[in-house]
Amino acid sequence: MSLLTIALPTGRTAKQAASVLEKAGIRFPDYHSKTRKLVMLDETKTIQLILVKTADLPTYVEKGAADIGMIGKDVILENQPDVYELADLHIGKCKVAVAGFPNQSLKVDGPLTIATKYPVITESYFEEKGISIETIKLNGSIELAPLIGLSDVIVDIVETGTTLKENGLIVLAEMMDVSTRLIVNKARFSTKTEQIESMIEKRKKALE
């Protein structure tokens, strides 16, 4: 039987995702939250874990470098990978929201400028609302943009809102709830059906 490869994103969801696997009885002896290792095997040596950059994870699964991935809905919506999205893992829960200064209006003269890691999500949301916008793609420290006048508002994920608060920003509109999903490569679903189904089944049982 060939190895089943699971990709986890480095960063905030990795730990929770790893604990989901552990509850399902899939343990990686080498895994701990501070590990620098990027590839490791589980105890039975049938499942391989790889740690990849969050934004790259959908690509790994879509192209079949990993069979399965655990990744936030925000990243899926932003990348639109051609994969199966088989389950909601109910972890990594947060919101995608528009944030800005208190009492700020989303109606401005001309296009509203928005700094974000999620241009695709942002554009489709505002298009539906009929608000004309201009997005500025940033890769981090999004909160900085309105403070120094780079943008009017930002679109970002909000968990607790602490970072926003510390920078004097508030949520102006909640766009959607997101959580971590289990995605599967379409070809691997056909060639490794049993392995994949049994893994999903184990995880389901662990939740009950």
Partner 1 sequence: MYTTTSNDKKIKDYQKYERMIKTIHKRFKTYGYERVKTSTFEQYDLYTEVKSAINRKEMVKTIDENGEVLVLRPDVTIPITKQLSELYAELPHELRYYYVQDVFRQSDEKDEEVESTQAGVEYYCESSPEKDAEVIALACHTLKDLGFQNIKIEMGHAGFFQALIEQINLSDRDLIKLKKYIQSKNIVELEPFLRTLEIDESLVAALTKIPMLYGNPIQVSEKARQITQLQKTDEILAYLLEVYDILKLYGLEQNIVMDLGLINHMGYYSDTIFQGFVEQYGRPVLMGGRYNHLGDEFGAKLPAIGFACTVESLLKATKKNCTAPRVPLDVHLQYDTECLRDAILFANELRERNYTVVTSQQNQRLNDTQPSIYQIQLTNQERNFFYKEKSYNFDSMKELLKLMREIKGGM
Q: 125-128: which pairs have CB atoms within 8 A and are 24 or more residues apart? A: 125/155, 125/175
Judged by CB, which is closer to partner 1: 86, or 144? 86
Asked if residue 127 binds partner 1 (CB under 8 A), the reply is no
Instruction: Pick the closest to residue 106 from 171, 150, 178 (CA basis).
Output: 171
For residue 128, give the amino acid letter: E
Report how far apart, in Å, the C-alpha atoms of 3 and of each of 47, 49, 67, 77 are. Answer: 5, 10, 9, 28
Judged by CB, which is closer to partner 1: 27, or 95? 95
- Binding test (CB under 8 A) with partner 1, winner from 11, 23, 30, 85: 85
Report 174-193 residues binding partner 1 (CB under 8 A).
Answer: 181, 185-191, 193
Asked if residue 65 binds partner 1 (CB under 8 A), the reply is yes
Q: Enumerate the H helices of the chain as residue ranges.
A: 12-23, 57-62, 73-79, 119-129, 144-147, 162-166, 186-191, 193-207
Instruction: Pick the closest to residue 99 from 146, 52, 47, 135 (CA basis).
Output: 146
φ, ψ dihedrals at 126, nearest 5° = -75, -25
Token match 């995880």: residue?
203
Asked if residue 53 binds partner 1 (CB under 8 A), the reply is no
Asked if residue 63 binds partner 1 (CB under 8 A), the reply is yes
Q: Computed over its alpha carbons, how large is the radius of gyration of the chain? A: 19
- Binding test (CB under 8 A) with partner 1, winner from 40, 41, 87, 136: 87
Judged by CB, which is closer to partner 1: 84, or 101? 84
Asked if residue 2 binds partner 1 (CB under 8 A), the reply is yes
- Binding test (CB under 8 A) with partner 1, winner from 25, 64, 119, 161: 64
Q: Is 169 helix (H, G, I), strand (E, B) or coil?
A: coil
Number of residues that bind partner 1 (CB under 8 A): 22
Judged by CB, which is closer to partner 1: 68, or 164? 68
Asked if residue 83 binds partner 1 (CB under 8 A), the reply is yes
- Binding test (CB under 8 A) with partner 1, winner from 4, 20, 31, 62: 62
Asked if residue 203 binds partner 1 (CB under 8 A), the reply is no
Contacts to partner 1 by CB under 8 A: 2, 61-65, 82-88, 181, 185-191, 193
